[in-house]
Amino acid sequence: MSFAVAFYEIGLAYGEPEEGGWWYETGEIVRLISLTRTEGAALATAARANRLLDRIQRHRRPVHSAAYDGGRYSALVFAGLPPANFPVERPTYS
């Protein structure tokens, strides 16, 4: 099995009005950056990429800010090929 590391642009989507409303993180793939054979290698690659992204994006608004207007990225790890968007299925309140 292979593990993929990909950059995603992160956003928020409105869930449902239960309990006063809730939000969940979404992402759209920007670029596949690495395919590895081990999960450890993929996690190490994503950790290095996210440390760099944290430094580069430190002046951008946080995703959970009311004034967030996009442009924040994160490196994520997936077993197999990464999906075009996450979450693949819309979450439900439980």
For the segment 28-63, what is each residue's pLDDT rounded down to a tens digit? 999 999 999 999 999 999 999 999 999 999 988 888
Cα separations in angstroms, 53 against 8, 75, 76, 91: 11, 8, 12, 27
The residue segments making up the domain with residue 51 are 3-65+73-79
Indicate whether 40 belongs to any domain: yes
Nearest to 5 by CA among 40, 29, 37, 32: 32
Q: Is 90 helix (H, G, I), strand (E, B) or coil?
A: coil
**Residue 8 CA to its chain's centroid (Å):** 5
Cβ atoms within 10 Å of 27's Cβ, excluding its own: 21
For position 92, what pLDDT does the model report? Answer: 79
Residue 66 has pLDDT above 90, yes or no: no
Q: Is residue 54 part of a domain?
A: yes
**Domain assignment present for 91:** no
Model pTM score? 0.84
Q: Which residue reads 């950790």 in tokens?
A: 47
